[in-house]
Structure 1
Amino acid sequence: MEADAELNRLRWRCTRRAMLEMDLLLGDFLDTHFSGLTPEQAAAFVVLADMEDLELWPLITGKRECANSLQAEVVS
């Protein structure tokens, strides 16, 4: 039950962003790929989802590299 609540909170963070593009990208990733991530990658995704759009967008678009290798795996 708590796992469902955590996933719902993560879904909220992924789809209620300042940028529509981020809503679409993160929401789609959550629906399509999140369940296939390792626990470590899933934790890295949660950290990425907690970032501000202006910090995360350059990582997703490749304008800046992720300093964290797990985050880089998830972004790629």
Structure 2
Amino acid sequence: MTKFDDTEKRRIRFQTRRGLLELDILLGRFMDKKFQHLSDDELTVFVEILDLPDQQFLALVNQKEATDKQHFIPLLEKIRKA
């Protein structure tokens, strides 16, 4: 398991700046409300999700596309609810 220190969390925060306005808005809300409460396991999944192309990430969050990665689902749900 990866342990995320403040430097890693700042790096993740920077990665949430995306090319799509819709993602910027969704992630901005999520970062303000939920990010500080994520466990290291959730942060690991979040980093994996952030590696997705913007269009695919947005499609997953908006449920326009399904994922076969079951470990994404709880975190995608948190992003939607933020």
- The TM-score, its normalising length taken from structure 2, stands at 0.76
Paired residues in the alignment total 74
Instruction: Give the Cα separation in 1 of the matches to 2:39 and 2:7.
Output: 19
Contact residue 48 and residue 71 of structure 1 kept, 8 A:
yes
Instruction: Give the Cα separation in 1 of the matches to 2:76 and 2:14.
Output: 19
Question: What is the match of residue 11 of structure 1?
Answer: 13
Question: With CA pairs under 8 Å and 6+ residues apart, which has the higher RCO, 1 or 2?
Answer: 2
Contact residue 41 and residue 70 of structure 1 kept, 8 A:
no
Gaps of 5+ in 1: none
Instruction: Give the Cα separation in 1 of the matches to 2:54 and 2:5.
Output: 25
Q: Which runs of 4+ in 1 moved over 4 A?
A: none
Instruction: Give the Cα separation in 2 of the matches to 1:25 and 1:71.
Output: 16
Gaps of 5+ in 2: 78-82
Per-residue Cα deviation, 1:49-69 (whole angstroms, up to 9, x for no partner):
121101111100001112111
SS at match of 2:66: coil
Q: How does 1:1-76 map to 2 (within 5 A)?
A: 3-15=5-17, 17-76=18-77
Percent same amino acid among aligned pairs? 28
- The TM-score, its normalising length taken from structure 1, stands at 0.81
